[in-house]
Amino acid sequence: MAQAVERALADQRHLIVEAGTGTGKTLAYLLPALRACASTGQRVIVSTGTRNLQEQLFFKDIPFLESLLGPLAVCYMKGRANYLCRHKLFALRNQPILSGLEEVSQYQAIADWEKTTETGDRVELDDLPEASLLWAKLDARSEACLGQTCPDYQRCFITEMRRRAAESDVVIVNHHLFFADMAVRQQAGGAPDAGVLPEAGVIIFDEAHELEDTASSYFGVSLSNVRFEELARDVETLLRASKELNAEVVTAAQMIRERARMFFAVLPTRAESRGHGFTGTDGRIPFTNREEFLEAQGDVYLGVLNALHRMEGELERLKGAEEAQPLRRRTSAVREQLKFLMESQNHNTVFWLERRSGRQMSTHLQATPIDVSDILRELLFEAYPSIVLTSATLTVQGGFSHFRKRLGLDEARELVVPSHFRYPQQALLYLPPDMPDPREPEFQDQAARRIRQMLEITRGRAFCLFTSYSQMRELYERLLCEVNFPLLLQGTAPRKALLEEFRVTPNAVLFGTSSFWQGVDVQGEALSCVIVDRLPFAVPSDPVVQARMRAIEEAGGKPFFEYQVPSAVITLKQGFGRLIRSLDDRGVLMLLDPRLERQRYGRIFLESLPPYRLTREIRDVEAFFARA
């Protein structure tokens, strides 16, 4: 793999590599990247799927290479929301917008930390809750950034991060930051100061199977009721701190709050008829009747636009206030985004709504590209001479055609590097016989029985992975009184805390959904079994999935076989990939979905999986663990 990467960089070609878990793909692209920097002087950006992998590269792999090669010019960058804005911190001092004693205490802890931190990265704040509402008032997102006019510009953590990146040969980022930065540059017409990432000649994407979803989210448009509340709050806070807040601005801010609350309150709460039959998946519903909505609620919509327009005018009049003009541009951007969401007739866009619960209820109005291939072809693959894309799960039936088509990657070299794991000896795939179809009522009863039977054999030590929250919760509740092992449930604690509890708790069983299907690494006997309830097809009534399938059908294709099946294959490979993480790992995989063998598309799944030994006999599972 390292040789293939080096040739691709030297020849200025794109390269796709599927490299199995444990093959050392991180070092296989880092070494050629460092050599390319030394020989050409070009900077390399490495983009990972998660911040955890990003930190692993920087704090584990890079120090290992430095122990062999000497000091390296490498840095890592996160999105602006991970960093503290000193200007906001100082502006909030003595202002009455802190909510309760908890926020007051958090503010004091952050203020003390600001005096000593060198990075401003919130990861250093161990005691700050993940869902802290205060942090959103203090982070360095670009919407309220004053840029070089800020009195704290030279001491700004974003400024310092940019300095480090400008001095580095290799910059490690994550996909969210990479595509957020690309989208900002696109909207700014390619202005050099629009983004935070430095110029680079080579891009390397690790966990590249996530690119389509990540790019889709950043080349779309999203507005929420919280966004309007934050806009009004920031206008008041920052102008009050600079003593520029006047009665007209206060009135305009209050008008934005009131009009936005009314607008989001009258948005549909469930899918309208039009034959969708959609009852909601995690609160996501299609918004196909925007014209009808505007006919009925046009006054409410215009009220929000007028409130934003009024705020723009009030901020324009404050020409002497440094904070006013960035806030005016931010207000203008929100207004243009709202107009796009409600009025655009772009045929490559699906419009939808999402209700999210949590500490702060929110409604999100969304627009997502149906097909990002043209966008990525133009802005990514034609813009950079050499891009390397790698992951353990990119192929379907041994080929990259699905991956290439979804991303618009027309010309690229290909390489499949098999894992050095001994899958036939290390893993057993058990397909229990006589299971009902997952869509039949008796499936849950049979699933509970089979899971209980398996956990008795494995003595816990398992991940139970589900395709929906409701199925996960139902089986968790049923097995809680029937299984004598510690059961952990996604959502009862932060993901990181649950994983740590699973690692240190003997015989634990973790029930999880999508966030535990990938990016989770538990080596050793603590994880000896992975149970998957059903083939992980994307919900066909999800607005984005629905729109993509319709587009394929209208182009004369077969959406189920061209989109649903390949996507589910890659997801299943990810889920099963949680089990064997090292040469010493052993364990059993159980799939409860009989469609793998009863439907003709099941062959595609089986031919895409590693060469596990397959059985339909429970006694083979018992014998497998008896040999442990």
Over residues 344-390, the pLDDT tens digits come to 999 999 999 998 876 678 899 999 999 999 999 999 999 999 999 99
* Answer CATH for 423-626 from 3.40.980.10, 3.40.50.720, 3.40.50.1370, 3.40.50.300: 3.40.50.300
Percentage of the chain surpassing pLDDT 90? 71
Taking the C-alpha atoms of residue 104 and residue 613, their distance in angstroms, rounded to an integer, is 58
| DSSP-derived secondary structure for 504-557 | HSTT-EEEE-GGGSSS----STT--EEEE-S--PPPTTSHHHHHHHHHHHHTT-
**CATH number of the structural domain 2-73+168-212+372-417:** 3.40.50.300
Question: Across residues 436-455, what is the average pLDDT?
Answer: 95
Residue 469 has pLDDT above 60, yes or no: yes
Per-residue pLDDT at 272? 47
**Cβ 202 vs Cβ 388: under 8 Å:** yes
Do the strands 15-19 and 386-391 form a parallel or antiparallel pair, or are they unpaired?
parallel
Q: Residue ranges per domain, the chain?
A: 2-73+168-212+372-417, 81-149, 221-369, 423-626
Taking the C-alpha atoms of residue 344 and residue 617, their distance in angstroms, rounded to an integer, is 56
Convert the pLDDT of each residue in 170-214 to its tens digit.
999 999 999 999 998 888 775 656 678 999 999 999 999 999 999
**Cβ 243 vs Cβ 427: under 8 Å:** no
Instruction: Tell me which of 164 and 142 has the higher pLDDT.
Output: 164
CATH topology agreement for domains 2-73+168-212+372-417 and 221-369 = no
| DSSP-derived secondary structure for 223-286 | EEHHHHHHHHHHHHHHHHHTT---HHHHHHHHHHHHHHHHHHHHS-SS--STT-----BTTEEE
Residue 280 has pLDDT above 50, yes or no: no
Per-residue pLDDT at 271? 53
Convert the pLDDT of each residue in 90-128 to its tens digit.
887 766 556 677 788 888 899 999 999 999 999 898 888
Residue 281 has pLDDT above 70, yes or no: no
Residue 404 has pLDDT above 90, yes or no: yes
Per-residue pLDDT at 291? 94
The 10 Å Cβ neighbour count of residue 411 is: 8
* Answer CATH for 221-369 from 1.10.275, 2.30.30, 1.10.3470, 1.10.10: 1.10.275
Distance of CA 193 to the CA centre of its chain: 25
pTM above 0.75, yes or no: yes
